[in-house]
A and B are shown apart, each in its own frame.
Chain A
Amino acid sequence: MSELSPEQRARVYALIDELLDLPESSRAQRLGALVDDPAVRAEVESLLEATRAATGFLSTPARPAVQIYDAGVAAGTRVGAWSIGRRIGRGGMGEVYEATRTEGGFEQRVAIKLLQVEAGSQSERFLAERQILARLEHPGIARLHDGGLTEDGRPFMAMEFVEGRPITVYCEQTRASLHQRLQLFLQVCEAVAYAHRNLVIHRDLKPSNILVTRDGQVKLLDFGIAKLIDAERAQLTVSAAAPMTPVCASPEQLTGKPVTTATDVYALGVLLFELLTGVHPWFGTDAPVLQALRTVLTKPAPLASRVAAERSGAPVPDRLIRGDLDAIVAKALREEPTHRYATVDALKLDIIRVFRGEAVEAREGARLYFFGRTLRRYRWAVAATFAVFVSLAGGLGVAAWQARRAAIERDIARRDAAREEAVRYDLTRMFRTAIADQGSQPATAKSMIDNSALRVLREYRDRPQLGGQLVLTLADLYGALEDVAGAGALLDGFVSQAGPDADPLALADARTKLANIELLRGHPERAGPLLDQAETYWKQFPQQYAEERLEGLGIRARLQRLSGDINGAIATNQNAIAARIALSGRNHRETAVLYNSLAITLTAANRLDEALAAYRDTVGIYREIGLGDGLDAQIIQGNMGTLELRTGHLQDAERLLKTAIDGERSLAGDSAAVAAAMGYYGKVLLIENRIPAALAALREAVALGTRYAGDKSPVTVQNAVFLGEAQIAAHDEPGARATLVAAHEAALAQYGTSHPLTLRTALALAQLAAAGKRSSDAQTQLSSVITGLRALGAPAAAYLAQALETQGDVELSGGRAQSALTALKEAVDLRESAHNRTWETAVARERLGEAEAALGRADAGTLLRTAERDLQGQLGPDHPQTIRASRALARLQP
């Protein structure tokens, strides 16, 4: 072909076109007439000939070539010195057969693992496994006896034949006691520790790889994806293969991060959990793989003792697990590898300590417990994962998903290696690439859910019955991604297009969820009607929907609080508590959560003693249910700390807040809750006049608030106000101005002029002006702040008092003692009605005393003396406020 020039070639094809229009018989003649170039003619003839021959060629479109199923190796075949018997199993890389040998007069039985015919590059892995096994010799590890090549060149391994049951099955069938289970677990630890000492990480520890023989001996199998630690470079090799079992895979395996011995520790944690409770930490053994991946990456493990308590027929009583074993499991399951046990030996030792009744390592330091989040939040119907799975599997009509669902469940639960592997492969890889490969892949979890959501809304417009459940579970998926916008859009669409045939249950549920989202989005006014509509449905079957009604009540209480209807919120909260106790009993986590809400609301209503009582109720319940050291309890302690602050118990406040911050951080890292606690902590330090420490804490608090809650969120604004106050105290006027102006603008933009937060920022700015001796500025700003705060009534009393004190100060320094007196009298009244003996009241009294003194009143002395005494007691003799009081007193005595 290359001999022809482009012109010739063009001619050829033009000719062919023409000739093809002619009947075949006329073609040769026509060709002869048209062409005299022999090369061209030859080519045309050749091609025409080919068109005839190629009539069926490529007639069916391309299909991916498939492999005919390999029927396996026949019994009796000789492999090395062995004779193949029955097939035992089919794994990811090949098949396993029983085999025997009768050399040297005795029969030896082994398991022969044959690399599959098509394994190709997997042979590397196979050989690696062989190499690894060759160096391991331990009673707890299935030994490698022999290896080599079969006659047709397939690699094989002959291993110790282990007859036994998976460890979990063994324990269940023998009804093993806690002691026996722990003893078996210790055996496993010893085997794994041995492997680690020989620089091998297993990476796929799971019950089916851990068999127990008849005489109770543990045997580890399948070092199929084990990895050698590169001892020469003292480096840990990075995981190249996807883990075979995502359900038992650690977070770092799933996200493709480097794998260390801590990975095996994690798997041992999962195993221990299962041995103690009978189930996998996040769900039962039949869970869909996709759900596994998401939950492992986003949820901390529940407390083993709790799971045991809630399961009927759990193998070990929960009270035996509570405490030490809980802690051990939790420490092994930490998401961050460096927070787990450093070695398997350490884990082993802690178990032994449990036997001996000694203190365990896991409980030292910062009480590393996890606890389960409300199931409500992650209430994933199995349907949820399949909605996504279906869109991934591609091309399946969503209408068929319900039928598919059962099949998929069966598929995954069954031990069908090929299908399991395909599923695992697809989903694991997809998640790994979605996480590692930002943006260039269309298939992120979010976009997958987005696409499913769109499809559901579109296709189910006319079939509302089927759509409802899908919508709800997709909304839950969004919830797991913390994607409020996504969930909101989906639920909006569903609720607004729901006609009279819509599934009423799904609709009510959707409305409740949407109400919650509207609160989060900052539209409380939309939440009310939604809740009302949902309530209309729940009311029809109050017993059946008691749980849902309670959820609605909880949201309504928050709605009322956010809208400023404090008394309404308190009443609703109390109703909810009563209903919850009736439904689930007092010692229940949900009850505690409601008491906590009540406490927050009471605090907002300035009913501080009642609030403290409610907090104590909350903490009490948490301790009763074994969550006294969990994250929620820490946050509550933080809340109590703020309350102590407001009631003037500075040292208690400082202690509680510090504990809360440390506790929260060690349990869950930085967060908005930490930011809030840190802000109050800084405030306490400020009050105690520990300025440098206060500045440091408050700067961090502002940064954390901005990062985790947004720069306009209440947390951040409040922290900024505190920071500004600290900067004023540190005489850093430019710094204070920058901080406070920004805070004021943020609050103004987000909340408007009359919101308490905005007024507080304005108050702080007025204090800045006062501190800078710009009295007229201060006065102007103060009067508008005071007007605004007055309008808010009782909840703003403390801030009003603060404003009045500032005003009094300004008036005093301007020599206008009479106006100062008026303002400060009101301030004292406000303070005294809140709490009589706090340092704040003392400060107010001190100022009032100064005003009285300036006016020559007789009771000035008494006031000042009381104030000085109180201030000395609360803040210490060296505190600026105390000193000021002393000086004022000294001026009195001539």
Chain B
Amino acid sequence: MSADLDDTDRALLRLLMADGDMGAAALGAAVGLSQPAAWRRVKRLESLGIITGRQLELDRHKLGYEVVVFLGIKLAAKGRVGLEDFERAVSAIPEVQLVQHVLGVYDYRIKVVARDLADFERILRRRIMTLPGVGEVESNVLLSEEKSSITML
């Protein structure tokens, strides 16, 4: 399961998780490798499936998205409407940023971005409540968030 990574690999991952734009030269300089050696290590991490991709980081406030809401969704008619139908429909909503299938009091956890609360209400009524098989929906508005991903490394 866990690939054998040495301290240099972990250091490279830490740097790339903070700034995915870092080139092989800068990475190499930071961990004490030549540019080609750093490049080969990053390629290896990609081919091992440890680095799965890159994600754009945007300031949502500057783009006019002031509200983030997490929804817990319970499906009403399990079996009748397949999970796949629900997933396909929910993923097609442009304001939905994340769809997670979970075990527990809810079936799905989704993240929605909206310009303001009125915009969120529109999305909830027109798009979420009309999803195939949707049952109970719980909304929690994000007030603040802090992250740290260093433990894994």
A binds B: no
